[in-house]
Amino acid sequence: MIDEDPIVDELIAGLRKEIDDIDELIIKLVRERTFKSSKIVQLKKRHKKPLITGTREAEVYGRYARALGEFGKTIGSALLFRSTTSESDKGTNLNPMAEDSK
**Segments forming the whole domain that contains residue 65:** 6-101
Q: What is the dihedral of CA 5, 9, 10, 16, to 10 degrees?
A: 170
Which tens digit of pLDDT belongs to each residue from 51-66? Answer: 888 899 999 999 999 9
DSSP string computed for 54-84: HHHHHHHHHHHHHHHHHHHHHHHHHHHHHHH
Domain tally, the chain? 1
CATH number of the domain enclosing 29: 1.20.59.10
Q: Let me know if residue 1 belongs to a domain.
A: no
Q: Let me know if residue 39 belongs to a domain.
A: yes
Q: Let me know if residue 38 belongs to a domain.
A: yes
Closest CA to 32 of 100, 81, 101: 101
Percent helix / strand / coil, the chain, rounded to 5: 75, 0, 25
The confidence band for 93, taking pLDDT boundaries of 50, 70 and 90, is: low
The confidence band for 86, taking pLDDT boundaries of 50, 70 and 90, is: low
